[in-house]
Structure formats: structure tokens, C-alpha cells
Structure 1
Amino acid sequence: MDLKEIQNLIKFVSNTGVAEVKLEMDNVKVTIRTTLEGNTPEITYVQQAPAQQALPQAAAPVAAAPAAAPAAPAAAADDNSKYVTIKSPIIGTFYRKPAPDKPMFVEVGSTVAKGDVLCVIEAMKLFNEIESEVSGKIVKILVDDSSPVEFDQPLFLVDPS
């Protein structure tokens, strides 16, 4: 069951007026509860088999970035225009490695092929592998490990040449 199917299920349940729905398929369990006033989803749980879960690391402190001159971002945008930006397809927590004791999927300078796993994003206890859309070389990693990411947030810059 993928994220779009879960989202469609939530919409369907909220439109039917049902108070609670439980669904179990293979190694996935989904419980959706709605309130009776307005039929908006209150709580959504998704659990997957423990064998596929990685243990998240403690979040590293984020240092404040120094303010840059206004001309510098415009120049950086021109430099980055030749690169392909890999963006987050979902909201969740970004992890650069499959488990705390495993090596990073990719580093700056790594060569990747289309379909190679770049990172995982945890959303609702599901660890989603994010694959490269192009072949090339990782130029920049735009997100810190164990950081929250938004939908369509840039994650990597890849030089396709």
C-alpha cells in the first residue's frame, strides 16, 4: 500500500461519515478515526513490519547560517541551473542512511545511476526509499540527516553530465 492509496482511503473515510476504519493487509496496518463533527480525520496510524524499519538517530543541532549579500543568492542560482534538483515527494523525516549502524547512501561526489537509492524519508512510520531520477554525480546535499522535510523540498543537486 503506497502513500497515495492511504491518502485516498483517508479522503474516502472522511466523506462517508464512518467513525473508524481498520485495515490490515500483509505487513501493513492502517487505522483511521474521524470525528463526527465535520468528518475530518483525527488520528491516522500506519504500521509496517519491524524488519523494514530503521532506527532514527537523534536530531543533530542546526547551526544558524550567516546572512549572505543579496547578489550572492542570484549568482548561486545561476550556478545551480545546470544541475538537476531531486525533490522530496512526501512530507517526513530525511535520513541519509538505512540504519544508524549502516553507511550513508550517497556522499557529495558520489556517482549515481537512475533508480539508485539516495536516502529514505520516514512518513507515518513508513520508511520510503527515494531514488535518483537521473544518472550523474551528487554535487550538493541540501538537507541535514534526521531533519524534517516538506513536500517538493529540494534534497540533492545532481550534475547529469
Structure 2
Amino acid sequence: MDIREIQNLIKFVAKSGATEVKLEMDDIKITIKTTDAASSETTTYVQHVPQQMQMQQAPQQQAIAPSAPVAAAPAADENAKYITIKSPIIGTLYRKPSPDKPVFVEVGSTISKGDVVCVIEAMKLFNEIESEISGKIVKVLVDDASPVEFDQPLFLVDPS
């Protein structure tokens, strides 16, 4: 299916008055959502699914799905007593101030409010991330030199 056929399909759906149309072919999935006819806005999602991946993913998803909720419940209960230090910005996290220096904090380290726990590089600026709580580092959730998103959990801290 080429771009012209997709554009014609979008126009046809918009004129027909349908609010949502999903089309799945061998290697393409298309979802077209329209709002009311007065605003004439259309949202289209086109997803290309390689044939090999499509066949490989189906059996794996069936096998994984039943066991996932059972395993997630105990982990959530264990982590509920800990406070999470989250990333305030998007960037690359570094656990060391420089490659030849030791890490800021490790599992078991005791931190106080205001202690630097890591550095996040954003747009060539290195931002020191300070702890807003006191406690003991229980778990490091992000590897050194890895990208992080806004509000992504970085460390678990036991405040007791």
C-alpha cells in the first residue's frame, strides 16, 4: 500500500462519517480516527509490522502474559515502603563525576538531603541531581551512561 492509497483511504473515511477505522493487512496496520464532522480533524496511525516479527511475537506473548501479573504483585509490595528518586530532566545519566572517579552512591550508601546522587547531561550541561530525602540506597535502577526520561525512577531509598 503506497502513500496515495493511504491518503485516499483517509479522505474516504473522513467523508463517510465513521469515527474510527482499523485496517490490518499482512505487513501494515492502519488506524484512522476522526472527530465530529464539524471540526474535520483526522488522526492516522500507520504501523509497519515485518512478517517475521509478527509470527515470532505471537507465541511469546501468549506464554508471557499469564505469568506477568503474578510476578509483578510481590515486587510492587516490596518496593512500596521505599521512596523513589526520579529524574527531573531528560538526558544521559552518569553515576560518576568523571570517568576516573568513584560513583556518587552505591547500594548500601547512606545519603542525606542535598547529597549529589548522580549527574545528568542535557544539552552539553552536566546537572547535579541532589537527594531530596535522607536514607539508605536500596537499589540503583539505571546503568551508568544510559539515557533517562523525565520522571524516570533512578534510585530506591529506604528512609528509615
Normalised TM-score (structure 2): 0.58
In the alignment, residue 140 of structure 1 is paired with which amino acid? K
Q: 1:34-82 CA distances to partner (integer Å, 9 max, x unpaired)? A: xxxxxxxxxxxxxxxxxxxxxxxxxxxxxxxxx7743121111111011
Look up the match of 1:89: 88
Distance in 2 (CA, whole Å) between partners of 1:69 and 1:152 is: 24
Which segments of 5 or more consecutive residues in structure 2 lack a partner in the other structure?
1-63
In the alignment, residue 76 of structure 2 is paired with which amino acid? A
1:143 aligns with 2:127: no
Distance in 1 (CA, whole Å) between partners of 2:73 and 2:144 is: 27
In the alignment, residue 73 of structure 1 is paired with which amino acid? A
Look up the match of 2:154: 155
1:9-158 equivalence runs, <5 A: 69-158=68-157
Look up the match of 2:52: none
Distance in 1 (CA, whole Å) between partners of 2:152 and 2:111 is: 20
In the alignment, residue 94 of structure 1 is paired with which amino acid? L
Q: Point out which structure has higher relative CO (alpha carbons under 8 A, 6+ apart).
A: 1
In the alignment, residue 122 of structure 1 is paired with which amino acid? E
Identify, as 1 or 2, the structure richer in helix: 2
Distance in 2 (CA, whole Å) between partners of 1:116 and 1:132 is: 5
Distance in 2 (CA, whole Å) between partners of 1:74 and 1:130 is: 30
Distance in 2 (CA, whole Å) between partners of 1:69 and 1:88 is: 26
In the alignment, residue 139 of structure 1 is paired with which amino acid? V
Q: 1:107-160 CA distances to partner (integer Å, 9 max, x unpaired)? A: 000000010000000000000000111100000000000000000000000000
Distance in 2 (CA, whole Å) between partners of 1:70 and 1:82 is: 20
Larger CA Rg, structure 1 vs 2: 2
Distance in 1 (CA, whole Å) between partners of 2:100 and 2:154 is: 22
Which segments of 5 or more consecutive residues in structure 1 lack a partner in the other structure?
1-66
Distance in 2 (CA, whole Å) between partners of 1:137 and 1:72 is: 25
The runs of at least 4 aligned residues of structure 1 exceeding 6 Å deviation read none
What is the aligned residue count?
Answer: 95
